[in-house]
Amino acid sequence: MIFQNWQLFRWFTETLKSEVLEISGEDWVPPVPEPTFCRTDPVTGINSTVMQRSLCPWQWRLNHDDDREPKIISEAFCLCRRSRGSSGSFCLPIKRKVKIAVLKRIRCDSETGIYEYMRALQTITVGCHSVLPRSHRTTFLTKLYKKSNVIEI
């Protein structure tokens, strides 16, 4: 399948309207050893960055695949196994299977030397979030709430 410019444009605009599927990230393995800031409380000062305030900090990594267009996609990578602070939560990646404009190279015509590409769904990690273990009851966090729905930490 050879893509023309108008076909690519139409496909790129279709991807903007696509649905997002959540993928479970419970099989995720954190880096070893974890960075030292994983054992510290989040910083909440006025000049703090999103990373410093995050319960589950992440870093952007480049996902490279020679058989894909684009060849490089930025993805989030969780840095900590446990949530920062005292919640007892775990950090899990937020993975999404997104219909993004990706072309996967599937074969090369031996006579013409032209590669054939097909549209593909790509699973990407878009961030990290703090999740209570399945064995915890949800009432654990409700003890922190006031009637005004403000969390006291």
> What are the phi and psi torsion angles at 70 (to 5°)?
-70, 150
Distance CA 41, CA 53 (A): 9
**Amino acid 3: pLDDT:** 52
| Contact (Cβ atoms closer than 8 angstroms) between residue 82 and residue 134 | no
CATH class of domain segment(s) 5-142 = mainly beta
Cα distance between the two ends of the chain: 57
**Amino acid 46: pLDDT:** 92
Distance CA 37, CA 74 (A): 23
**Amino acid 104: pLDDT:** 78
C-alpha to C-alpha distances, 100 to 24, 52, 95, nearest whole angstrom = 19, 30, 14
**Amino acid 7: pLDDT:** 62
pTM (2 decimals)? 0.59
**Amino acid 69: pLDDT:** 80
In 3D space, the residue among 92, 28, 85 whose CA is nearest the CA of residue 58 turns out to be 92
What are the mean pLDDT values of the chain's consecutive 10-residue runs (153 residues total)? Answer: 58 55 55 81 89 90 86 89 87 80 75 78 86 66 51 47
Question: 124-143 b/e with 16+ CB inside 10 Å = b?
Answer: bbeebbbbeeeeeeeeeeee
